[in-house]
Structure 1
Amino acid sequence: MLKRYVLYLILCCCTTSVLAQQRPQYTQYIFNNYLLNPALSGIENYTDIKIGHRSQWSGFENAPKTSFLSAHWNLNGDYLWRNPLSLPEKGDDPMSRSYTQNYTSSPAHHGIGIIAVTDKTGPISRFDGGFTYAYHLQLSGTKNLSVGVYAGLSRIALDYSAISLENQVDPALANAVVSQFKPDVALGVWYYGARFFAGASVQQVLPQKLAFTSSANYNTGKSVPHFFLTSGYKLFIDDEISAIPSVMLRKVEALPMSVDANLKLDYKDKFWIGGSYRSADSFSAMAGFNFKNLLNLTYAYDFTTSGLNTVSNGSHEIVLGFQLNNAYQVFSGGRSWR
């Protein structure tokens, strides 16, 4: 039969086991909510590109490893306005206290983007890639509402060479399927102003059967929707230091609801530190630098608090961001309340 850890990993990826969710999890989503919500497509006044890697449960054999590339931009190349998508003067702090007090909402505009994610856990690997679109509606002089959609394709594969069998004719692998492609759709909504945001999204909207064999005893796996609800607010401690508390609720069918509580302390949108708590899972420490108007680098370390802490040395996550076509010389790496 399959080794215990292999069977465990397959069940985690292909069923609604109480032990894991089907999509990768991130610690630094609070600085790139676009990964979870397509409604953020084109929210910036530049092309926002991020490349990241996450090594989860370091020290645990065959633990999940995730890499991603995301990029999104607006379709209104000639728009200029005085709000967080631009700057009053080139090089100014884009979200200073005085600037947010004079905030005006963005004109209605369109945004598009691309997302590519690879995730590998033991012998199972997954690739998700697709395109996003969002429309940003101007609700008032200070508020916007955007709605977005993601459409793509997922490839889920099983590497038989990585599986050790005691019985070479194990029925669990009879008529085995090496890989499978599934269509994928996600939906989202995002409400935002100068200092606050609130959003909701759902991934894996289309129900799909997930199985690596046609055997009736082992083909009951399926994909299930992943729901996200998040909100945050920016508080100024003084003219140079701000605090951004935020919260996220995550729900996957057949799993308990997960709650994240986050806090970021920011100095002039140039350097920041932060912390996060994920219920029944981990504490996280985060830090980041913004290098002028082109690059930003962030890092997070998760301290595992679940039962895996006996075999795990924690999780590492690093993200490198690029800001292209940055006409206003925006210094910070994205909206500072994210």
Structure 2
Amino acid sequence: MNRNTLHTLFFILLIGLMALPGATHAQQRPIFSQYMFNGLVLNPAYAGNQKQWVISMVHRDQWVNVEGAPKTNSLITHTALENRPVGLGLIISNDRIGIHDDYSMFASYSYKLKLAVGTLSLGLQAGGNYTQSNFELLRRFHLNDPTLTGTVTRFSPNFGTGAFYSNSTTYAGISVPYLLNNKVYNSADVISQATERRYYFLTGGHVFSPSPSVKLKPSTLIRYQEGQPLGMDLNMNVFLQDVINLGGSYRSGDSMIILMEIILNRSFSFGYTYDHTISRIRNYTDGTHEFMLSYRLNIGESKCHSYF
């Protein structure tokens, strides 16, 4: 049995654990490694945080060399409304994993309250996922399984909320971006139906300035999905001359991450991360690549570059 066949069988087993009859819950939402560049992917209250109009395109190729591994393409945009304490955002995404093709769109709204020190933003988001699952693609492994036929489609609405506090050097946020526990399958052929589970995110970070040309930003993300172990990211970013951002992250039980962002000019920036897998799947993959291209436009007298 060659290496490619092993990769295929391993991933089909993984898909089966997450999606086939008998599963009770699964992780349905993609994870990004460059969320520190655009907090909207975690928290709707982040919309319009920096008084800029931001457009980001993200491509994530997860678990390279594993057939059917997740591939995600996302368009993320948000803006503040000039002279109003309101932010608006939109995330459009396509996530492919194995036999499943998921399209999602979520709109965000935030309202900002000026405090004595800093700003507290409260946010809401709403939208849904449209998913197609082509079970015919599994028949080459299970030719006589009568349940592996046809294509199942479903639409799942959802909504979420969050809060985000920030001042010139510090930020903290808490969010539950998907509140509804939707059923993953709505088919009479499925004996026990899998369901989504809520995510809870807690984020925080602080920017230090050891010199005018160097900024240090330690940060963390704590994530919890109902029925799953608590997860944590520990991050450190180093900003050099406000042009180059180098960083590293440890994602508990999953990966070590190398991060790079280049500020190309006042409007454009490019980001890249490489996730070195440390979980048991590391024997089957060369890691994960993620690319991001962002455009920022000033609103009023705000600065184009921000540290969070």
TM-score (normalised: structure 1)? 0.83
Task: Choose the corresponding residue for 1:127, options 94, 103, 111.
Answer: 103
User: 2:37 maps to which residue?
Assistant: 31
In 2, distance between residues paired with 1:110 and 1:327? Answer: 14
Does structure 2 retain, via aligned residues, the 8 Å contact 1:16–1:255?
Answer: no
1:66/1:137 CA distance change after superposition, 3 Å = same
Point out where structure 1 has 5 or more consecutive residues left out of the alignment.
80-107
- Matched to 2:180, the amino acid is L
Task: Choose the corresponding residue for 2:290, options 312, 317, 327.
Answer: 317
In 1, distance between residues paired with 2:35 and 2:302? Answer: 24
Q: CA deviation at 1:186?
A: 1.7
Q: CA deviation at 1:7?
A: 5.2
Task: Choose the corresponding residue for 2:270, options 297, 303, 308.
Answer: 297
User: 1:156 maps to which residue?
Assistant: 131
User: 2:232 maps to which residue?
Assistant: 259
Does structure 1 retain, via aligned residues, the 8 Å contact 2:78–2:90?
Answer: yes
Point out where structure 2 has 5 or more consecutive residues left out of the alignment.
1-8
In 2, distance between residues paired with 1:127 and 1:59? Answer: 23
Question: Does residue 114 of the first structure (1) align with residue 87 of the second (2)?
Answer: no
Q: CA deviation at 1:260?
A: 0.4
In 2, distance between residues paired with 1:307 and 1:168? Answer: 29
In 1, distance between residues paired with 2:256 and 2:190? Answer: 41
1:16/1:290 CA distance change after superposition, 3 Å = farther
Does structure 2 retain, via aligned residues, the 8 Å contact 1:152–1:183?
Answer: yes
Question: SS in structure 2 opposite 1:244?
Answer: strand
User: 1:62 maps to which residue?
Assistant: 68
1:166/1:113 CA distance change after superposition, 3 Å = closer
In 1, distance between residues paired with 2:201 and 2:139? Answer: 37
User: 1:232 maps to which residue?
Assistant: 205
Aligned residues: 299
User: 2:6 maps to which residue?
Assistant: none
Q: Is the strand fraction higher in 1 or 2?
A: 2
Q: CA deviation at 1:326?
A: 5.2
User: 1:85 maps to which residue?
Assistant: none
Does structure 1 retain, via aligned residues, the 8 Å contact 2:136–2:151?
Answer: no
In 2, distance between residues paired with 1:64 and 1:261? Answer: 23
Question: SS in structure 1 opposite 2:221?
Answer: strand
Q: CA deviation at 1:47?
A: 0.7
Higher relative contact order by CA 8 Å / sep ≥ 6: 1 or 2?
A: 1
Question: SS in structure 1 opposite 2:286?
Answer: coil
- Matched to 1:157, the amino acid is Q
User: 2:249 maps to which residue?
Assistant: 276
Q: CA deviation at 1:302?
A: 0.7
- Matched to 2:118, the amino acid is K
TM-score (normalised: structure 2)? 0.90
Q: CA deviation at 1:187?
A: 1.0
Question: SS in structure 1 opposite 2:147?
Answer: helix
In 2, distance between residues paired with 1:319 and 1:246? Answer: 20
